[in-house]
Structure 1
């Protein structure tokens, strides 16, 4: 999730457990601690794909963060002990602030390596968009109440209530994901589509309209599904050009990207370069992680040794308005194939 939401979550967790003793400082301590795992973004791992796929790695590991919580609790008790609450309560608070950060990240589509250093695939439950105001709002209200009213010497029930509401909202997003996938799977059965991969994720800034990707060899399908739809979803066929991936058999960056994304990738030849796009993130035609991995030479394709992330647009207000309208009205459908074709245009 975005850093502001993570800070709000950390502040609310710490206030609920230690606010009655730490007062408003609990909000500050929790906010700082809640953003700590994301400091790995300052590390240069070598190239753009390494930066992408090693982010949310060791700093988001449950093993690493549990060890860090023990160390921080011990250090805090040594430097500034407070007899009003136990060391175990302090450890539990620090641990929960850190762990709720990475678990919330796992609800997004990016991929969080919760079990690093194990080489299991990243966890991406993909039920929450990276910025979701409905999730963040209860936490924001809780922090504002704590900042203005104060929390010292009282049981901050408002903080616990905010955490309960935000957790219930996460449950609602998981129900939406299941709803969308079930409707798309029924449409696939009706058309006889055999998918090698199915990936679903909410559209930007909401959890009412879902985007479902179906990988089938050299093509993929995209479908939009809303809670308010009364007809089967339309499955829009889009070229994936998986055959181009044969030119990347010797590319370690491509192998790493396949592992990290679960192979939810698209391939395009644009301007003499072979571009690989992570379809999971962003929205149709607007994907923030796109890389040139090879380029044409006299004998075919040559791998690009140092990979950079290509500039990406973030979409436009008109398309966001169309998505908002699509939540409530299934027809007319949105031109997903036309939007996806934008990726074939030279930058």
Structure 2
């Protein structure tokens, strides 16, 4: 999830663990702890694109990281804070650390919660930024923050924030199930034979959903809003995996295919090949768009090394997408 959401979650968890004993400092340290797992993004400054993608939401988003580093941070804080309870601070950091990847596991990218096991949990029930999850949570956290440390209202407000956000998170599973059934029915009604079906919420909401359906030679992409009145329309995107040629045996290419979970297409523009990760869809709702959210050029440098370079996304693309999403969300 986005940084603000993780800060709010970490602060609320910190309050639940130590708020009665240390007041707003529990929220402060919880908020800090809630951001620490995302420090793995700095790996992109020290390694290549493929390795950085593999590292992202890996070790720092695991139960093992929480178990190993919570006592370390707990010890450091207990050394200089007036409240010297090492166990209390360790529990605060542990729960703030471990709830971070648990929440991230509900997104499309998912997390390697059980690292070093090669297993990425991705329930794909919520977008990385969802105002309906974050804003109510934030309001109740602020209300709790404004109360005295010993006030009963403080704990009540914080508990309400945690419960409301958790209930919404559970609700997204039901919404995903409804959307999945809608896509499945549409494919059946249109007599489309498919190998597998993958669904996820569109950006910023859980009303509009997107789907990828794999066929023998192509992927079908479609959108469904709970306000739709017309049948779901699917657009076909050829796999073009054969364009990789001998590159398919390259280790970096294999790793990218694994990272994308096999949901990818290859396109060619001039003499350059592009790897398109279909899990995150398109930056446009217009038909036949080739503007994928995650698109990487594939080049070979002078040493023969395969290089993946992520194509930049412009602010205009984001603004245009928001407008198109709002229109599509209201129904087809």
- TM-score w.r.t. the length of structure 1 is 0.84
**Number of positions where the alignment pairs a residue of Structure 1 with one of Structure 2:** 323
Tell me, in whole angstroms, the C-alpha distance in 2 between the residues paired with 1:312 and 1:251: 27
Moved more, 275-284 or 260-269: 275-284
Residues 78, 51 of structure 1: alpha-carbon distance in 2 compared, 3 angstrom cutoff: same
Moved more, 140-149 or 274-283: 140-149
What are the Cα deviations for residues 255-277 of structure 1, in whole angstroms up to 9, with x where unaligned? 11121221111110012111001
Instruction: Answer whether contact 1:128 1:207 (CA < 8 A) is retained.
Output: yes
CA distance in 2, matches of 1:253, 1:164: 43
For the residues of structure 1 that align with 2:6 and 2:123, how far apart are their CA atoms? 17
Matches within 5 A, 1:276-295: 276-281=275-280, 283-284=282-283, 285-294=290-299
Deviation at 1:316, TM superposition (A): 4.3
Paired position in structure 1 for 2:155: 156
2 CA distance for matches of 1:288 and 1:190? 29
CA deviation vs aligned residue, 1:264-309 (integer Å, no higher than 9, x gap): 111100121110011112535443422122469xxxxx97523322
The residue aligned with 1:327 is 329
In structure 1, the partner of 2:310 is 309
Task: List per-residue Cα deviations over 1:200-243 (Å, max 9, x = no partner).
Answer: 11111111000111122331111111122344422222333222
Q: Is the 8 A contact 1:136 1:166 kept in 2?
A: yes
Aligned twin of 2:190: 191
Distance 1:283 1:169, change over 3 A: farther
Are 2:59 and 1:58 equivalent residues in the alignment?
yes
CA contact (8 A) 2:75 2:89 kept: no
- Aligned mates of 1:203, 1:316 — CA distance in 2: 13
Counterparts of 2:108 and 2:129, CA distance in 1: 11
2:13 — aligned with what? 13
Structure 2: how far apart are the matches of 1:108 and 1:148? 31
Q: Check conservation: 1:199, 1:213, Cα contact below 8 A.
A: yes
- Higher RCO (C-alpha 8 Å, min separation 6): 1
Contact 1:272 / 1:295 at 8 angstroms: preserved in 2?
no
| Counterparts of 1:317 and 1:290, CA distance in 2 | 19
Q: 1:288 to 1:45 in 2, by over 3 A?
A: farther
Pair 1:36 & 2:41 matched: no
Look up the match of 1:128. 126
SS of the counterpart of 2:146? helix
CA separation of 1:193 and 1:11: change in aligned 2, threshold 3 A: same
Which runs of no fewer than 5 residues in structure 1 stay unpaired? Answer: 297-301, 331-347
Q: Say if 1:206 and 1:258 are closer, same or farther in 2 by CA, change over 3 A.
A: same
Post-superposition offset of 1:11 = 0.5
Correspondence list, 1:153-232, <5 A: 154=152, 155-232=154-231
> Hey, what does 1:339 align to over in structure 2?
none
Tell me: CA distance 1:48–1:228, structure 2 relative to 1, closer, same or farther (3 Å). Answer: same
| CA contact 1:56–1:113 (8 Å) conserved in 2 | yes
Instruction: Give the deviation of 1:34 after TM superposition.
Output: 0.5
Give how far 1:189 is off.
2.1
Q: Does 1:46 align with 2:86?
A: no
